[in-house]
């Protein structure tokens, strides 16, 4: 399996939060799409459409309606939906997905230094391929994180313009995920 840093061509990741934005992601310059919408019926179709357009797909399983937080749910995703990987806040699901040879991104919400330290410890324990940190508007924290972990950092959350993307990248993030379709075509 590839290393996640080898997959990133565009450093802006299309974070698809509603079905209406799927077409925009398909036609964007972003080569990676995070799917944060759908249910047991629609998600496979979203993955297939994005893959057909040449996009690398990650499903944020915490946002997919009807999924349970079980090993069998991860096995189903791996065998029936076949995305490149998953995103989740739950470390046990990262471990299950690793067993199924899915790439994994551990999402961390950084509300204070305690959450940052605990999040890094958990990530090192469950061994995701990358960490997505939210909110992404914190260059000094991203810089600190890159010193605390060997895992690639993806910044996301509250990103609304190119300047914020460039700030996160300059601080050391591998890429920046954004739910704003207007940012998915930047040449970064």
Give the tens place of pLDDT for each residue, 5-61.
888 888 999 999 999 999 999 999 999 999 999 999 999 999 999 999 999 999 999
Counted residue by residue, the chain has a size of 188
Gap between the Cα atoms of 86 and 142, Å rounded: 22
Q: Pairing between strand 32-35 and 56-60?
A: parallel
- pLDDT score recorded for residue 9: 86
* pLDDT exceeds 60 at position 1: no
Domain ranges of the chain: 4-183
Q: Is 145 in contact with 132 (CB distance < 8 Å)?
A: no
Distance of CA 163 to the CA centre of its chain: 20
Instruction: Give per-residue pLDDT as tens, 68-111.
Output: 899 999 999 999 999 999 999 999 999 999 999 999 999 998 88
Domain 4-183 has CATH 3.20.20.70: yes
Quick check: pTM over 0.85? yes
CA-based torsion, 22, 24, 27, 29: positive or negative: negative
Instruction: Give per-residue pLDDT as tens, 141-157.
Output: 899 899 999 999 999 98
Instruction: Give per-residue pLDDT as tens, 102-139.
Output: 999 999 988 888 888 899 999 999 999 999 998 877 88
């Amino acid at each position: 399996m590839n290393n996640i840093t080898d997959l990133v061509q565009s450093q802006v990741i299309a974070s698809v939060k509603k079905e209406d934005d799927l077409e925009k992601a398909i036609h964007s310059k972003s080569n990676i799409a995070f799917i944060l919408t759908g249910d047991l019926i629609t998600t496979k179709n979203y993955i297939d459409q994005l893959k057909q357009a040449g996009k690398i797909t990650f499903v944020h399983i915490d946002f997919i309606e009807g999924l349970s937080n079980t090993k069998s749910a991860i096995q189903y995703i791996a065998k029936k939906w076949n995305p490149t990987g998953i995103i989740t806040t739950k470390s046990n699901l990262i471990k299950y997905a690793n067993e199924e040879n899915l790439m994994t991104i551990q999402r961390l919400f950084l509300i204070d230094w305690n959450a940052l330290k605990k999040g890094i410890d958990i990530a090192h324990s469950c061994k995701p391929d990358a960490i997505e940190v939210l909110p992404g508007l914190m260059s000094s924290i991203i810089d600190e994180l890159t010193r605390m972990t060997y895992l690639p950092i993806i910044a996301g959350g509250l990103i609304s313009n190119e300047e914020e993307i460039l700030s996160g990248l300059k601080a050391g993030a591998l890429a920046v995920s954004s739910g704003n379709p207007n940012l998915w075509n930047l040449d970064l």
